[in-house]
C-alpha cells in the first residue's frame, strides 16, 4: 500500500555503505541489497534512490578511509553496514568501534541521517571477544541517537537455504529476507530525513 505521507515528495538519496553483505557478493546486480531495498520502498510509494557503496572485504577502517568519496554531496541518509570483516579477522573491537564512531561523527557533521546495522561475532572467537564486539553497535547507537537494526543477518545467519555455499553471504532470497526485516527501520530513517527543516 502506498504511503500518502511520502507521495509527491522529492527523491531521498540513501547510500548503502558497507562490505560484501550490502555489495551483493556473487549475486546479480538486481539481487543486491540496495537494489532490492529500493524496489521494496518504491513499491510502498516512497520516492527514494539507494546507491550501492558496498565494497567486498572492507573493514570499518577501510570504510573510514573511503568515506568522503563513497558518500557524495547530496546524500540524505546512510545505511552503515560494516564490521563483519573486522570480526572475521579478529580485529580488536576497540579499533572497530573507533572507526565506526568516526564514520558516524563525520556523517552527522554533514547532517546525514544514519541507520546503523549491527553485526554479531562468531561464538568460536570466545565469550570475551563476542561480548566486546557485539556491544559496539547498541553502544554507538545509544551514544549518537542513531537508528539501529540490531543484527543485519537476523534470520539468515544460521539458515543454509538462505546462504551461499560459503555459509557467510546471503543468497538472493536471503537478501530479500534482510530487506523485509530492515524495512521498518529504513522507513523510520526516511521519516527522520523528511522531518528536517529544509536548508
Report d(CA 16, CA 80) in Å as an integer.
6
Q: Which regions of the chain does DSSP assign to beta strands (E)?
A: 12-18, 48-54, 77-81, 113-117, 147-149
Three-state DSSP at 92 gives coil
Query: In the annotation, is 169 catalytic?
Result: yes
Catalytic residue, from 19, 20, 61, 76: name it.
20
Residue 6: count of CB within 10 angstroms of its CB: 18
Report d(CA 11, CA 41) in Å as an integer.
11
Written as nine digits, the cell of 1 is: 500500500
Residue 68: count of CB within 10 angstroms of its CB: 11
Asked if residues 50 and 37 have their Cβ atoms less than 8 Å apart, the reply is yes
Catalytic residue, from 60, 61, 76, 169: name it.
169
Written as nine digits, the cell of 128 is: 570475551
Query: In the annotation, is 20 catalytic?
Result: yes
Catalytic residue, from 128, 145, 166, 199: name it.
166
Q: Which residues are tagged catalytic? A: 20, 166, 169
Amino acid at each position: 500500500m502506498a504511503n500518502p505521507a511520502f507521495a509527491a515528495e522529492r527523491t531521498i538519496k540513501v547510500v548503502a555503505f558497507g562490505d560484501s553483505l550490502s555489495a551483493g557478493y556473487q549475486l546479480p546486480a538486481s539481487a543486491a541489497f540496495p537494489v532490492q531495498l529500493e524496489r521494496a520502498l518504491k513499491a510502498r510509494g516512497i520516492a527514494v534512490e539507494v546507491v550501492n557503496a558496498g565494497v567486498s572485504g572492507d573493514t570499518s577502517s577501510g570504510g573510514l578511509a573511503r568515506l568522503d568519496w563513497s558518500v557524495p554531496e547530496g546524500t540524505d541518509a546512510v545505511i552503515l553496514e560494516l564490521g563483519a570483516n573486522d570480526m572475521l579477522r579478529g580485529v580488536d573491537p576497540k579499533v572497530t568501534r573507533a572507526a565506526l564512531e568516526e564514520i558516524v561523527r563525520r556523517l552527522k557533521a554533514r547532517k546525514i541521517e544514519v541507520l546503523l546495522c549491527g553485526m554479531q561475532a562468531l561464538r568460536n572467537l570466545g565469550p570475551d571477544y563476542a561480548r566486546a564486539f557485539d556491544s559496539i553497535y547498541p553502544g554507538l547507537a545509544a551514544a549518537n541517537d542513531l537508528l539501529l537494526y540490531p543484527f543485519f543477518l537476523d534470520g539468515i545467519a544460521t539458515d543454509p537455504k538462505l546462504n551461499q555455499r560459503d555459509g557467510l553471504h546471503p543468497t538472493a532470497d536471503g537478501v530479500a529476507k534482510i530487506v523485509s526485516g530492515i524495512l521498518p527501520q529504513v522507513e523510520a530513517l526516511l521519516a527522520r530525513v523528511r522531518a528536517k527543516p529544509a536548508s
